[in-house]
Amino acid sequence: MKKIKKSAIALIPLALLVIACTTRNGVQEPEKGAPSKTGTQEPANEYQQTAALDASASLTGKAYEDINTYMKTYGFDYSEHANCNGGYGGHPDGVHCTVELDPYFNKQVFRFTIHIDPVIDGDRCNESTVDRQRNEMKSATNNTTWAKVQGNWDEWQVLEWKFRLPKGFQPTSSFCHIHQLKAQDGPNNGSPLITITPRASSNGGNKRIQIIHTVDGASTGKGTIVDNIPLADFEDEWVQVREEMHYTHTGYYACKITRVRDGKVLLDFKDENIDMWRTGSSYIRNKYGIYRSLAGGQLDHTPVGQSPLLKNESLWLTDFKVYEKHPNPNPGQAHD
């Protein structure tokens, strides 16, 4: 039998340690602080929590104005809904956001509801977007006091939140976003940068979750980067989302969604070389709620002609947290 040198034996635990530190869920990762596959330097893990939001029992039964005022004190706002007059799709007496006690967590959570009946909600009574509906909260439209909740150039950011979709939630083959990362300004802020999107086939089957990446005015958009995650795994279940971004043109995007009840990982995606910026923008907002197409319908037509699949839907949200590292020292400056 050949003898093994003591020096070789001593190296075995070190090798095992290196293997353990460079794998997660079977995917090899760059060492923190070392260059990533794109050749850029990944910062060390120095995240600091910069914001958090939970619903309050004091909002029970309150109107949308009170919910908006409350959210603003934590760096978010609720101003994109159908409680409006004029234009198309106004539903001023409708209830689109409420705070209610969730029996699973035994605490207050936000409930967002969008309507087909008794009124077909629109997009903030906007006369130019009569083909869609919107009911969303978002990070505050403010990049001075609340720069710490926005995605600014060359920053690393983590967003965490929980959501629940009801049993029987029905998307269509058109868009239905429940989360967006979207540029606030600049010439290319039309469509969102990243969305989490329930989708179905034209007959309502094949219900699934997608993640979509789009870059206006550039050839670096990757389109649907996650698809065919069964929506049935999400229905009537609380899930925890962790999203991590590096906001540059050769950026980083990761999203992990875990079912709260049993810890099952429903989605785990990472891209280390993805365009995570919009040319000319000064910051990227984070948005949550229901923003969906009428799937052939037009609010300025009679009848509207929306997809027969569409119905009243709700989305429950809670436990918002924002973390940043290496924040941009001049977040108000637009960047190409």
Q: Tokens 């005022």 sit at which residue?
A: 69
Return the CATH fold of 51-325: Jelly Rolls (2.60.120)
Within 10 Å of residue 99's Cβ, how many Cβ atoms? 20
Band the pLDDT of 210: cuts 50, 70, 90. very high
Within 10 Å of residue 57's Cβ, how many Cβ atoms? 10
Average pLDDT for residues 189-198, to the nearest whole number?
Answer: 95
* DSSP per residue, 175-239: -EEEEEEEESSSTT-SS-SEEEEEE--TTS-S-EEEEEE--TTSS---EEEEEEEEGGGTBTEEE
Residue 3 confidence (pLDDT) above 50: no
pLDDT in tens, 70-105: 999 999 999 999 999 989 999 999 999 999 999 999
Tell me the pTM.
0.86
Residue 271 has which token pair? Answer: 């891209």
Residue 310's pLDDT is what?
A: 98
Strand partners, 314: 113
Measured between alpha carbons, how far is 305 from 132 in angstroms, rounded to an integer?
Answer: 12
- State whether residue 106 is helix, strand or coil: coil
Q: Which long-range contacts (CB under 8 A, 24 or more apart) does 209-215 make?
A: 209/234, 209/257, 209/266, 209/267, 211/255, 211/267, 211/269, 213/253, 213/274, 213/275, 215/188, 215/275, 215/278
Residue 284's pLDDT is what?
A: 97
Closest CA to 317 of 112, 78, 82, 129: 112
Residue 49 has which token pair? Answer: 């929590």
Residue 43's pLDDT is what?
A: 41
Per-domain boundaries in the chain: 51-325
Band the pLDDT of 183: cuts 50, 70, 90. very high
Average pLDDT for residues 12-35, to the nearest whole number?
Answer: 35
DSSP class of residue 145 equals: T
Structural contact between residues 253 and 276, judged by C-beta atoms closer than 8 angstroms: yes
pLDDT in tens, 34-75: 333 333 344 447 999 999 999 999 999 999 999 999 999 999
pLDDT in tens, 272-328: 999 999 999 999 999 999 999 999 999 999 999 999 999 999 999 999 999 999 999
Query: Nearest 5°: CA angle at 182, between 291 and 44?
Result: 130
pLDDT in tens, 223-269: 999 999 999 999 999 999 999 999 999 999 999 999 999 999 999 99
Residue 2's pLDDT is what?
A: 40
Measured between alpha carbons, how far is 254 from 262 in angstroms, rounded to an integer?
Answer: 22
Structural contact between residues 334 and 185, judged by C-beta atoms closer than 8 angstroms: yes
Average pLDDT for residues 184-200, to the nearest whole number?
Answer: 94
- State whether residue 7 is helix, strand or coil: helix
Structural contact between residues 278 and 215, judged by C-beta atoms closer than 8 angstroms: yes
Band the pLDDT of 188: cuts 50, 70, 90. confident
* DSSP per residue, 139-182: E-S-SSTTGGGSB-TT-EEEEEEEEEEPTT----SS-EEEEEEE
Measured between alpha carbons, how far is 322 from 325 in angstroms, rounded to an integer?
Answer: 11
- State whether residue 71 is helix, strand or coil: helix
Strand partners, 208: 199, 230
Average pLDDT for residues 114-120, to the nearest whole number?
Answer: 98
Residue 179's pLDDT is what?
A: 98
Measured between alpha carbons, how far is 191 from 214 in angstroms, rounded to an integer?
Answer: 7
